[in-house]
Chain A
């Protein structure tokens, strides 16, 4: 490759390339041009945008169980859970490196849970649209855990069957 020209002799294309450095730190929704795309273009070591969507699972009847559950939670747990969801939106599957998120085993791939204390949100990562679908929120107890995960899994099956 030729060494880069001095900016004075560059065409518009090269200048445009350089201005791809401009990126948005904290708003993932209002940038229409790059909305709903996973961009991992790295120019000069800077990742421009990494975006995920967070959606509530909506039952055919229109109910949104996780939205209701987050309203019903106590304020501390609710704030923490909202925060984890925001981190998930910003960092995506990188969160698997921390202890905030882990895959649920035994139910296929792309099925995860995010935890705070004893509260859990089971979610599904839809790769095609890069969306995390919040399926079920619950408080983990030893007796009820498998039942709760089955609830989440049945919602996941329903969601996937929509096509």
Chain B
């Protein structure tokens, strides 16, 4: 019986101790990716960012590796030094929930539109050589 990563993780998340640790890891890596993206967008190296915010380069490296554990104050002041602020939000702990979460971004004129349309279906009847298009 071959195992898959996703099933393993789903099963391990049943354990409350593992879930706690996983939540902690997610918070750290979430911030790590956010910081790396912000740094890339500003076109800075780790050393330059470290000089701006007044920490060492190795601390930035630890933050971007998801291994440091900064306080909320520290996160706030660190981001403030590059003109950003922290925006937090919650989502499900499991990355593979039973019911997927769909995010719909509406347009200002979305009320004008019809509800989502089923995908196009082509029915090919080879005996009659006609193609019916159902929409």
Write the residues of chain A forming the contact surface with B, with a CB cutoff of 8 angstroms: 7-8, 12, 15-16, 18-19, 21-31, 33, 46, 54-56, 58, 62, 64, 67, 70, 75-76, 78-80, 82-87, 89-91, 94-95, 97-100, 115-117, 134
Contacts and interface: CB of A to CB of B under 8 A. Distances in A.
21 contacts: A15-B114, A19-B117, A23-B102, A24-B102, A25-B101, A26-B91, A26-B92, A26-B95, A26-B97, A46-B105, A58-B2, A75-B17, A79-B18, A79-B22, A82-B25, A84-B29, A95-B33, A97-B37, A98-B33, A98-B65, A134-B5
A79 B24 contact: yes
Interface string B54-68: 000000011011110
B26 interface: yes
Contacts, number: 133
B36 interface: yes
Given A27-B101, A98-B66, A99-B65, 18 more contacts: A15-B113, A21-B105, A23-B103, A24-B101, A24-B102, A67-B3, A67-B5, A84-B29, A85-B5, A87-B29, A87-B33, A89-B95, A91-B33, A94-B33, A97-B36, A98-B33, A98-B64, A99-B62
A79 B65 contact: no
Specify which of A23, A46, A97, A98 lies most central, judged by the most chain B CB atoms within 10 Å of its CB.
A98
B100 interface: yes
Interface string B99-125: 011111101010011101101000000
Nearest to A19: B116
B32 interface: yes
B10 to A, nearest CB: 11
Contacts of A98: 32-33, 36, 64-66
Given A15-B113, A58-B2, A116 B66 contact: yes
A102 to B, nearest CB: 10
A117 B32 contact: no
Given A79-B25, A80-B25, A97-B36, A54 B5 contact: yes
B95 A90 contact: yes
B50 interface: no
Contacts of A26: 91-92, 95-97, 100-101
Nearest to A132: B5
The 5 closest A-B CB pairs, nearest first, are A79-B21, A27-B100, A99-B65, A83-B25, A98-B36
Given A26-B95, A56-B3, A83-B22, A67 B8 contact: yes
